[in-house]
Amino acid sequence: MSVIALNDVVKRYQTGHETVEALKDVDFRAERGEMVTITGPSGSGKSTLLNMIGLLDTPTEGHIRLDGRDVTDFTEDELTEERRSEIGFVFQDFHLLPMLTATENVELPTMWDTSVDRHDRAVDLLHRVGLGDRLDHRPDQLSGGQRQRVAIARALINEPDILLADEPTGNLDQDTGRTILEELTRLKEDENIAIVSVTHDEQMVGYADRVVQLIDGEIQ
């Protein structure tokens, strides 16, 4: 069963008297262990689609299923809980907190949680992304690639089924970008997660199991 599935999704934005149809009857799915990369020109609906998959925004029409459960009509609180437990987010500019160490940044999404093993899991994840010797470094003491590894570890702390990555290599040089892509490929297999990314990076397209091309709100 697809971990995330969108069926006949339409998204319209209303601004004043004008309506923009950003997504037109989109069908999309992703499976565990698969990296799907979304490409397309600026304004084609990539961010809108990623926001639907990440349950950050709701469709105007159509259905979204998470692990077979229809979440289309979930309340904002229910969607927040699904996001927290099922989806990890990685961004182009890392979004790390500068005053916290690598370990503390990774632990952050679980700070409210009283379960005992979050510190151990944070340390374990940092080891697995090759930062076992950088646990107490702050972001300004890390390279761009190392910061993105911290962000990836943080995205995995709640053991999500889906990792969403918006231009994850956008701020990295080509070699560093490649190491991050190799890392993501390994993690998708080890953790058996679906990775859905948006990118302009041709190199990234080469690491995808499947490429989804969006033009003018339609999947080609």
Ligand X SMILES: Nc1ncnc2c1ncn2[C@@H]1O[C@H](COP(=O)(O)OP(=O)(O)O)[C@@H](O)[C@H]1O
- Phi and psi (nearest 5°) for 34? -120, 140
CB of 81 to ligand X, least distance (A): 24
- Among 37-45, 64-72, 173-181, 205-213, which window interacts with ligand X (CB under 6 A)? 37-45
Q: Tell me the site size for Mg ion, rule CB under 5 A.
A: 2
With CB under 5 to 8 Å by kind, the binding choice for 215 among Mg ion, ligand X, none is none
With CB under 5 to 8 Å by kind, the binding choice for 40 among ligand X, Mg ion, none is ligand X
- Among 15-23, 71-79, 109-117, 118-126, which window interacts with ligand X (CB under 6 A)? 15-23
Q: Which of 156, 36, 169 is nearest to 94 (CA)?
A: 169
With CB under 5 to 8 Å by kind, the binding choice for 20 among ligand X, Mg ion, none is ligand X
> Quick one: which of 42, 75, 115, 174 contacts ligand X (CB under 6 A)?
42
In the bound complex, which residue of the shown chain has the CB atom lying closest to Mg ion?
47
C-alpha span between 93 and 81 (Å, rounded): 25
Q: Can you give the chain as a three-state secondary structure string?
A: CCCEEEEEEEEEEEECCEEEEEEEEEEEEECCCCEEEEECCCCCCHHHHHHHHCCCCCCCEEEEEECCEECCCCCHHHHHHHHHHHEEEEECCCCCCCCCCHHHHHHHHHCCCCCCCHHHHHHHHHHHCCCCCCCCCCHHHCCHHHHHHHHHHHHCCCCCCEEEEECCCCCCCHHHHHHHHHHHHHHHHHCCCEEEEECCCHHHHHHCCEEEEEECCEEC
Among residues 92 and 179, whose Cβ is nearest to ligand X?
92
47 contacts Mg ion (rule: CB under 5 A): yes
CB of 47 to Mg ion, least distance (A): 3
> Quick one: which of 9, 40, 96, 181 contacts ligand X (CB under 6 A)?
40
92 contacts Mg ion (rule: CB under 5 A): no
216 contacts ligand X (rule: CB under 6 A): no
- Among 12-20, 69-77, 145-153, 175-183, which window interacts with ligand X (CB under 6 A)? 12-20
Site for ligand X, rule CB under 6 A:
13, 15, 20, 22, 40, 42-48
